[in-house]
Amino acid sequence: MIYLDHGATSFPKPRAVCDAVDEAMHRCANPGRGSHDAARAGAEVLYRCREAAGELFSVEPERVVLTASCTQGLNMAIRTLVRPGDWVVISGFEHNAVTRPLHGLGARITVAGRRLFEPEDTLWAFRRALDRGAKCAVFTHVSNVFGYILPVEEMARECRRRGIPFILDAAQSAGAADIDFEKLGADFIAMPGHKGLLGPMGTGLLLCGRLPRPWLFGGTGSESENQAMPDFLPDRGEAGTLNVPGFAGLTAGIRLILEQGPEAIGADESALAAYTAQELEKLGYEVFRGRRQLGTLSFRGREDCQILADRLAERGIALRAGLHCAPLAHRSAGTLDTGTLRVSFGFGSTWEEAEGLLDALRKSVSGL
Ligand code: PLP
């Protein structure tokens, strides 16, 4: 299979990740629930995961809350900072994992910066929106539909300057871009473990600059006599049994990223996307491309996107059509009516895979 859907989850997982999951399945019991060896081994796995994340993102290990997905982390962060009726500024490229929790809470939303691949416009609109009064800001690092890299360092600076708390959604950048928690000064950074960090599905991380408001209540293995959730990290955000084998795999994934460096990985993915975009244009497709683009790109032709994706799937080429859980991004780019086909490269993607897709399209799979 030619897998070009890394934006959904990285696949296949590296051998080291699978081995680490397998080992933990055989070695680990529930951490923090006993003093025996198997429980200690489980606790050690979780600590190693926080430590590896700490190294990659310049954050203290105890500030790393282990979650089941980026969505979970975003919900916890948003529920900490936003109350019903609050004004919240978001970018024009947010995923439903940001917009739905805000909608569910009854927040009032200002969408700032809808122009694709125009960081100056994004920043200008963002500043203006903050100045009109905002309780907090939530923005994505990289659009999951278009690969647009938002100017998040500058956006973070604008928030800090005004004392406005902010949440960064690093779902598409973690593992493929430099993210420095200390330097950004974010209140929260949420990310999945299962995309660019190469871990198993069912893993995610929430980096916490402040105590989160718990959204799930239960046992933590600490302060059992206390009926309130502990008021310290990471326990406050981690009720219930954690996915120990998953986090063992995630640690192995993060170690691979640390070896190669996220920026080098991102540069390879960007180069693949830029080449593919250029060749797709030669084939007559409308391609959404720009200077600040990571390894994801969207395109469309005259034919229905889903039909084309189905035909490619029949030929063993995996990509994703439709709205990609991000109708706001499609509305911003003017593609809400048709959706797009999304190609997303990832760790280990090759030039041969890019050529495989292009060849299939050249052979008029599309009927263009
Ligand atoms: N935010 C963005 C930008 C995403 O692309 C995704 C997933 O595709 C999410 C959030 C949600 O991530 P998860 O599936 O890990 O909950």
pTM across the whole model: 0.97
Report the atom number in ligand 1 closest to the C-alpha of 74: 10
pLDDT digits (tens), the chain, 368 positions: 999 999 999 999 999 999 999 999 999 999 987 789 999 999 999 999 999 999 999 999 999 999 999 999 999 999 999 999 999 999 999 999 999 999 999 999 999 999 999 999 999 999 999 999 999 999 999 999 999 999 999 999 999 999 999 999 999 999 999 999 999 999 999 999 999 999 999 999 999 999 999 989 999 989 999 999 999 999 999 999 999 999 999 999 999 999 999 999 999 999 999 999 999 999 999 999 999 999 999 999 999 999 999 999 999 999 999 999 999 999 999 999 999 999 999 999 999 999 999 999 998 655 54
Report the atom number in ligand 1 closest to the C-alpha of 143: 3
Domain boundaries, the chain: 2-11+262-366, 15-260
Q: Around 352, how many Cα atoms within 13 Å sit in the side-chain half-sphere?
A: 3
68-to-41, 117, 204, 240 alpha-carbon distances in Å? 20, 31, 5, 12
Instruction: Give residue 74 CA to ligand 1 midpoint distance, Å.
Output: 9
CATH classification code of 2-11+262-366: 3.90.1150.10
Q: By the 8 A CB rule, do 129 and 30 touch?
A: no
Nearest CA to ligand 1 atom 8: 8
Q: What gap in Å lies between CA 205 and CA 190, rounded to an integer? A: 6
Look at residue 35 in the predicted model and tell me its pLDDT. 85
Give the three-class secondary structure for 49. Answer: helix
Report the atom number in ligand 1 closest to the C-alpha of 97: 10
Residue range 15-260 in CATH 3.40.640.10: yes
